[in-house]
Amino acid sequence: MKIPDWYTLALLAFAAFRTFRLIAEDDILDRPRAWLLRYRGWDGTGPPPKGYRTKWGEFITCPWCAGFWVSILWWGAWQIWPHGTTVAAVPLAVSALLALVAKNLDE
């Protein structure tokens, strides 16, 4: 088992953060997320519709739950293929940093 250096760890952390945001919150994945949760037009007010997967909804949007597993996947991929995983992590890490900076500048 390898331990990443600080640079690789930062890349993996920011890539995991960005991946979690994509899965949990970004509009681009609204349709797959709605399909998985059986969401079908519910606006979030009132009781969930019949068949809505409440536990999956909680899991997907929880940074402690889904974020942990996303991090494990990134770290495991790095253990198997360090160079390829690091290369794949760079655009996601840059995207995460850009979003964090933009959010803080807008406030």
Burial of residue 80, with CB atoms counted within 10 A of its CB: 0-12 exposed, 13-18 middle, 19 or more buried: exposed
pLDDT of residue 45: 57
Instruction: Please give the chain's pLDDT, 107 residues, in tens.
Output: 899 999 999 999 999 999 999 998 888 888 888 777 777 665 555 666 777 788 888 888 889 999 999 999 999 999 999 999 999 999 999 999 999 999 888 76
Assess if residue 1 is contained within a domain.
no
pTM of the model: 0.82
Domain extent for 20: 6-106
Domain total in the chain: 1
Q: Which residues contact 34 (CB under 8 A, 6 or more apart)?
A: 40
